[in-house]
Structure 1
């Protein structure tokens, strides 16, 4: 909580062009460069889930697609987004901030009157949160596409046109909300770990490792809490 309050209070820093540039770069790195990964994972995930439901458990095509939508939008997609972001972006953010701390760049920023939270933390947290939300929606759609292609082959268009009957606004809201929550949690934890690293070169890889391990634990705990409270 002591770390979140400065982040929230520094939102007005977004009016500064340098902060907005850092934000856009973070969105590009986290979202755009990971989009193809999410497309592949989602397509494969949809095919795997539908194949198990249809072949192993005897579900009809329509029932398999409905179950896939419920599983992907409510649970699998946000969790996969959180795991990919932790492995790909949280480690990078933690090591970057730890490196800046080791090489004295944080002290230089404060010496020039630049708030490290507003310039370094805010755009990374906000960028990863926004990117996670968009990636979650993209992953869920690609999972539906993979499932439709598996059950119908070249006639997958018919299954896709039925999505408005299968996917409800509540499912989309849960998917976006959980993806944003996991992205926010992973990015905030990565920034905390990076900024709290000791001023030794050996702390840089340790910060990256801590961000990944603690991020995984945090995301699964949040997912469990969400499941219990819903």
Structure 2
């Protein structure tokens, strides 16, 4: 099944969350993709906030308030969802594809099918949903880390006041776009990884091929989706 087909089947299979084994797989996915990845995302977010503000405020001569507003626009609109998706792709998509390919190679998928267990509801849907939620939440954590770092660099001990003023002028559409991108990118990453994992595993050499293919295709999908967002926002 294609990545789009897996994504649609996952969305249709959400009622299966009423079963404990499915929720257990979802919680494991949230822990792996979300909680374990949080320190890495916060570190990169802090670094990005400091670098962008330094370039705008100290080298280009932009005012402190203007630098922070521009940082918020760039981070919420592009950097936070894109970099979060890239980091999660590099960290999680290969692992997800390898796991499913190994399950096929060892005959676990066949055994589950013979027992009447739906592969899509038990294995694919929790992974897609978990990545969607993790990517959406981590995108906001990334943006928050960047903005707090930028505010501290610009205003020092008055960083809280700067963030308060920024929250009043930041358009709600920017926040909605950030959330939409994070959730969409997460769903695409997981769908591509699951599709590549389920398509591989026919031999031992298929496992690393499925992992590398998942990373490459997920990155291409994320960039293509970001281009679609830009076209819809500015040209539709």
Q: Deviations over 1:90-138 (max 9, x none)?
A: 1110000011011100000001100000000000000000010100111
Instruction: Report the CA distance shift for 1:164/1:37 in structure 2 as closer, same or farther (over 3 A).
Output: same
Indicate the residue corresponding to 1:19 in structure 2.
Answer: 22
Instruction: Report the CA distance shift for 1:60/1:74 in structure 2 as closer, same or farther (over 3 A).
Output: same
Q: Deviations over 1:8-42 (max 9, x none)?
A: 33222111100001001101111111111111111
Q: Residue 33 of structure 2 is aligned with which of 30, 38, 43?
A: 30
Note the residue ranges of structure 2 that are not aligned, 5 or more in a row. Answer: none
Q: Distance in 1 between matches of 2:150 and 2:169?
A: 13
- Normalising to structure 2: TM-score of the pair? 0.94
Indicate the residue corresponding to 2:47 in structure 1.
Answer: 44
SS of 1:3 mapped into structure 2: helix
Indicate the residue corresponding to 1:172 in structure 2.
Answer: 175
Q: Distance in 1 between matches of 2:7 and 2:159?
A: 45
Q: Distance in 1 between matches of 2:196 and 2:143?
A: 30
Indicate the residue corresponding to 2:195 in structure 1.
Answer: 192
Indicate the residue corresponding to 2:160 in structure 1.
Answer: 157
Deviation of the 1:67 alpha carbon: 0.2
Indicate the residue corresponding to 1:63 in structure 2.
Answer: 66
SS of 2:68 mapped into structure 1: helix
Indicate the residue corresponding to 1:213 in structure 2.
Answer: 216
Deviation of the 1:172 alpha carbon: 1.1
Q: Distance in 2 between matches of 1:158 and 1:31?
A: 30
Q: Distance in 2 between matches of 1:117 and 1:91?
A: 19
